[in-house]
Amino acid sequence: MTARAPARRGRSARQVELLDRLVEIVTSEGFAHLTLDEVAERLRCSKATLYALAGSKQELVVEVVRRWFEVAAEVVEAAVASHDEPLARVTAYLDAVSARLGLLSREFAEDLTRNAAATELYRRNTDRAADRIRALIAEGIERGAFRAVNASFTAETVAAVMLQIQRGEMGARLGLDDAASYAELSTLVVQLLEPRP
């Protein structure tokens, strides 16, 4: 897996390691079928160790999703930081999001939709992503690199598409998974923002 995000305050290195290993299991297989006994066995830890991470299986799932977003945010922001040109920064952001989502299994995505707390966490992170896109677009307009579009409107439009992707609505209608949907969104945004000759 890619570089690790720092631990949340209060987590030991061992707890972060267990969460990271659990992220790999859950994002590749889903989580609905797993019991805490199975998780403890696969991680070679006690159930008490798992209960130190979260008080229940549902809470543990939320912690796993939260950890996935922590690591994903680090990877995505590193991709953005590797570019100076505004259009490349927007493209890098959307492409990195697409790549991260491409690592998630269909089983995980389906299980996620059945867990209200995890779905809400995903939605909040989608909102943060829209805010980040808004800032990147505003930066590009300010630097004269983009057409003079309304950054807030464009970001809200991107956010609406992101929410449809997150809810599985777009994939159901178009036969695209989340990663492919984000890749198409990236292409659309680039064509919208590129200055016209």
Lowest mean pLDDT of 37-41, 79-83, 133-137, name the range.
133-137
Lowest mean pLDDT of 55-69, 82-96, 181-195, name the range.
181-195
pTM score of the predicted model: 0.81
Q: Between residues 18 and 169, which one has the greater pLDDT? A: 18
Find, among 53, 191, 12, 28, the residue nearest to 108 by Cα: 28
Domain spanning 65-193: CATH superfamily: Tetracycline Repressor, domain 2 (1.10.357.10)
- Per-chain mean pLDDT for the chain: 87
Residues 58 and 72: their CA atoms lie apart, in Å, by 21
Q: Is the pLDDT of residue 1 over 60?
A: no
**How distant is the alpha carbon of residue 160 from its chain centre?**
15
- The one-letter code for the residue type at 165 is I
